C-alpha cells in the first residue's frame, strides 16, 4: 500500500475532516515518474482570537500512484476567505508546480522511490 505522509511537526493538527477543501487539479498526469491524480488545498480552522480573528492552517495535499503527501502551505490569522485567496494565488502563478515538486521530493525522501 502506498504511504500517506503527513509532513507536519504535529500531525494531530490534521487528524480531522478539513473545514474546507479546494481541488486545484484532478485527473492523471505524469511528473518525474509519478502519476499525480489530485492536488488540493485544505483549510483547518484552529482557534479564534477576539482581535485577530480565526487562526487558519492551510495544507497542500498531493495524491499520486506512489502515495500521498499533506504538508503545511500557510498558517496564521489570514482574515476572511483564506483558502479562496490561496487557491487563486496558486492558480494564477506557477505555484501548483512547486507544490507538486515539493511533494514528490518528500515522497522520494521518505520512501526512497
31-73 pLDDT, tens per residue? 888 999 999 999 999 988 889 889 999 999 999 999 999 999 9
Report the run of H or E that residue 108 belongs to, with start and end. Answer: helix 95-111
The reported pLDDT for the residue numbered 33 is 87
pLDDT at 17: 95
- What is the value of pTM for the model shown? 0.89
| CA distance linking residue 102 with residue 113, whole number of Å | 14
Mean pLDDT of 91-112: 86
Q: What are residue 11's phi and psi, to 5 degrees? A: -60, -20
Q: Which three cell numbers stand for residue 3?
A: 504511504
Output the pLDDT for position 110: 81
Average of per-residue pLDDT across 94-99? 85
Dist CA 19 CA 69 (whole Å)? 18
How far apart (Å, rounded) are the C-alpha atoms in residues 45 and 56? 5
Amino acid at each position: 500500500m502506498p504511504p500517506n505522509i503527513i509532513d507536519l511537526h504535529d500531525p494531530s493538527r490534521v487528524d480531522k475532516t478539513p473545514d474546507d477543501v479546494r481541488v486545484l487539479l484532478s485527473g492523471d498526469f505524469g511528473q518525474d515518474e509519478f502519476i499525480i491524480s489530485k492536488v488540493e488545498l485544505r483549510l483547518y480552522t484552529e482557534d479564534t482570537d477576539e482581535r485577530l480573528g480565526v487562526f487558519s492552517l492551510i495544507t497542500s495535499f498531493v495524491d499520486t500512484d506512489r502515495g500521498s503527501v499533506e504538508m503545511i502551505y500557510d498558517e496564521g490569522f489570514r482574515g476572511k476567505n483564506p483558502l479562496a485567496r490561496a487557491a487563486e494565488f496558486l492558480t494564477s502563478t506557477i505555484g501548483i508546480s512547486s507544490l507538486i515538486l515539493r511533494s514528490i521530493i518528500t515522497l522520494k525522501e521518505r520512501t526512497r522511490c
